[in-house]
Structure formats: structure tokens, C-alpha cells
Amino acid sequence: MRTIKGPAIFLAQFLGDEAPFNNFKTICEWAADKGFIGVQVPTWDSRCIDLKKAAESKDYCDELKGTAKAAGVQITELSTHLQGQLVAVHPAYDHLFDAFAPSEYHNNPKARTEWAVQQLKYAAKASQNMGINVHATFSGALVWPYVYPWPQRSAGLVDTAFKELADRWKPILNAFDEAGVDVCYEIHPGEDLHDGVTFERFLAATGNHKRVNLLYDPSHFVLQQLDYLQYIDFYHEFIKMFHVKDAEFNPSGKSGVYGGYQDWVDRPGRFRSLGDGQVDFGAVFSKLTQYNYDGWAVLEWECAMKHPEQGAAEGAPFIEDHIIQVTERAFDDFASSGTDEEANRKILGLR
């Protein structure tokens, strides 16, 4: 067994226009002060990274790593969640998702997709230049508007969508393969990859591409009422990244999984700061350890009630307390009598 690394923190939800959240050096110092030893970097935010430059210059990547190290943390992974979302967008969401791309690509879905694909390819090379072999992203979604089968879906609609999704991703996956980096899709409502079945469908559509892997986040399974522990049993070989995020689901006679179009604070399913929700993290960390997950445990903070700085301050010790320092010997070694093959045969009554 192996020991999970951490605690680390995803910077996306904390970056802002005020110090210390407005540049990479000071936010790394802030994270270290909160007790984190790693930071996951959102590549769409220029306050953290110039992604194109990182793809083209190892020296620049070494500078970023040096800045993080001087602050007391290390860069754990890069993220392209927003760019990955734009690899595949149903037209119903064009206007909303234009905000994820530079303004020159707005109202031009084809150009926006091409930009997103290039961003992912930059991320592959940037990760390689950083010496990082896993990468976080979203799959995007072509068929999400039809997640509920009413009106009845036309025959072959889902197959067509997943074939197209795989066709868009295969060149990106090949670029990551050349860089020696695994693509870890965060399984998430709103993405075509939102549970185990859809992950398997996508994996098959890519021809079981070896770079298709998973970012595990139990909070999204709580909101779907999916068994987040058995999920690890099914897919542990693909889990290469881990977001530590809590959630709760409190259905009523008025609202359930779909949430009634309510704001987050009023939804039955909502994200919470670590320890305030219903995720059994003792069991999660145990299962991941059992299956030899040795990647990072990364806090992703999202909560409709608690202040983010309180969430961060509580998050580092929470993760640290749940990381299992794996044993190098069995608990009952003290009672071992020590045997050899001859003795074992004698014990079994074999001659």
C-alpha cells in the first residue's frame, strides 16, 4: 500500500482581485500559511500561469515551480476544467459558455472549440514541462440536455453524441500520450461524463484509450445519489486524481435530486465545507489507500454558507487527519512463529 499525498488545495475558487489572492506568489504563501503543501493550478487564470508560455518554455515552468517552492508548496497538477468544457458544447449552452473563452471567440462555436482543443494540447506539453503526469479537466457535453428521456430520445442519439465526443477528444488524448500525461476527467453533472456508465461509454468510444482516466470527487455522487464508495471498487484503476469536497443531500416532499431550480443554499443537494456534509471521508480515504492510490488529496472548496477562508483553514487539517500513513508490517507480526516450506507441509499433514 501507498500513502496519499497532501494536503493540497485547488486555487480556482480562491483567486481574486485583492491581495493575497491576485498573484501566484502571494496565493501560494497564503496556502502554505493555511497548512497546505501543494497547489492545483487553474490554467485559464493568467494570475497563475501563462499556459502557452508554459507549453513552450521549460525554463518558465521551472520559474513557476521555484516560486511555489519558495512559498512552501509545490504544484501538484494543472487544470483545464473550463477549456475542457468548451471541447463539446450543445447549442443550448452557447451563450452561457462563451464566458469561458476569450471575447474574440464569442458567437463563434467552431472557433471557440478550436481554441479549447489547442488549450488542452498546450496543457499536455505544460504538464510535461512541469514534470507532472496527471491532468484535470471536464469532458464537455453534447447530449446533456437529453439526460432525462422525455421526450423519448431518438434511436442512436446517445451513441452519435459519444462518438462525436470521442472523436473530438482523441487528438487531444494522443497529445497527452506523447507527453506522458494521463487525462483525468472529473465526473460531474452537466458533463456527458457524469457517472460510471457514461465514463465506460466514453472509454469504449475512444477505443479504450490508455490516457482516459478519472478525477474522483465524491461530492458529485452524493448529489446524484450514486454509491461513491462502490464507485471506487469499480473504477479504482482509473482514479489518478482526487478532489476532497463534501456535500449533503436532504430531500423533502417539495424537492429532490433536480433541485427545483433553486439557489444552492436552498437545494436538497448542495456542496459543503469539509466536515459539514455527509461524505464518509474515513471510508473514502481507506478505500483509496486499500487500492494503492498515491496521488494528491486536493481540497476543492465550494460551500453556499461558509466563508472560503474558514473553509480553507479547516480543510488542511481535515485532510491531514484523514491521510493514512500506511504500515510497513502486519499488526499481528508480533505473534509470528516464522515458518518455512518444510514446516508448512508438516502443518498441513503433507509428506
| Predicted confidence (pLDDT) at residue 335 exceeds the cutoff of 60 | no
Residue 241 pLDDT grade (very low, low, confident, very high; cuts 50, 70, 90): very high
Give residue 332's pLDDT. Answer: 61
- Average pLDDT over the chain, rounded to an integer: 96
Give the mean pLDDT of 145-161. Answer: 97
**What does the pLDDT look like over 155-202, one tens digit per residue?**
999 999 999 999 999 999 999 999 999 999 999 999 999 999 999 999
Domain ranges of the chain: 5-326
The burial of 164, by beta-carbon neighbours within 10 Å (0-12 exposed, 13-18 middle, 19 or more buried), is given as middle
| Predicted confidence (pLDDT) at residue 348 exceeds the cutoff of 90 | no
Residue 7: cis peptide before it, omega within 30 degrees of 0: yes
Pick one of 3.40.50.300, 3.20.20.150, 1.10.150.120, 3.90.1150.10 as the CATH number of 5-326: 3.20.20.150
Give the mean pLDDT of 54-66. Answer: 98
* HEC sequence for 132-186: CCEEEECCCECCHHHCCCCCCCCCCHHHHHHHHHHHHHHHHHHHHHHHCCEEEEE
Q: d(Cα 259, Cα 1) in Å, to the nearest integer?
A: 40
CB-based contacts of 189, cutoff 8 Å, min separation 6: 220, 223, 224
| Predicted confidence (pLDDT) at residue 276 exceeds the cutoff of 60 | yes
pTM to 2 decimal places: 0.95
Q: Which of 50, 38, 39 is nearest to 12 (CA)?
A: 39
Give residue 341's pLDDT. Answer: 86
Q: What percent of the chain has pLDDT over 90?
A: 93
Cell of 289: 489507500
How many CB atoms sit inside 10 A of residue 170's CB? 16
Sequence letter at residue 275: G
**What does the pLDDT look like over 84-117, one tens digit per residue?**
999 999 999 999 999 999 999 999 999 999 999 9
Give residue 327's pLDDT. Answer: 77
Q: What percent of the chain has pLDDT over 70?
A: 97
Q: Which of 192, 182, 269, 181 is nearest to 228 (CA)?
A: 269
Q: What's the angle, vertex CA 152, arms to CA 147 and CA 156, rounded to 5?
A: 80
What H or E segment, with its residue span, contains residue 97?
helix 94-97
Sequence letter at residue 319: I
